[in-house]
Structure 1
């Protein structure tokens, strides 16, 4: 698995959710399924599913916001009711692997980030993109924001 740094712009159309960090693992997929039921309302989307997560800053930070949606190819003029358009450009450390290994991928990326001397930006969203592969396997690409 390769870890690297990138500067990337994400254009996202999504639905905002919030809740306790402890329940993100169940809440986010539920909201994503609701969102996918509205995919026909979105023009010019890339088909790539995406989620943006508020980072957990410390042990006392119990609740956070997140977005689930799809990447769009260019800025939008018309946003469907109940959705938000987000465009963010940032420096990230990133890696990609099988989604069933997502916890380990996050841990490896965090360790690599620290070993390389990068500092995480806890004010910017953590981003994950989801990529269906052959044989029913799905991969996730994780982007952790860093300060430069």
Structure 2
């Protein structure tokens, strides 16, 4: 067995971990995104995806334990540590996946008390069974052989 020289290697604590623990974030939730305009100055509005700005999270400023800019983000992303029991408000937008015009689009039709969505007239001209569409479509869209019926 080799003798120890008596000198221990220097082991430094991670400064970020030390700072987070000083702010009491042991049981915190972590959210990352971009701070945007808020409707109420008591809250921070966080946008987690730049592609879906209709989706956001409102967090009370009192529930934020620590915040930090994401070092590698050139767009200004931040990380928020929030209280584990914080009440947050999540807004999500959903869009109708069906096109609103052109082949394959749906049109809302009301007959009596019945309200339904039906395919538009020009979509009914072709029924495709090709693997690319598997639905009503304009035959010019399909890449495989598609024959009007």
Q: TM-score range by the shorter chain?
A: under 0.3
TM-score (norm 2): 0.25
Give the structure with the larger strand fraction.
1
Higher relative contact order (Cα pairs below 8 Å, separated by 6+ residues): 1
Give the structure with the larger helix fraction.
1
| Structure (1 or 2) with the larger CA radius of gyration | 2
TM-score (norm 1): 0.25
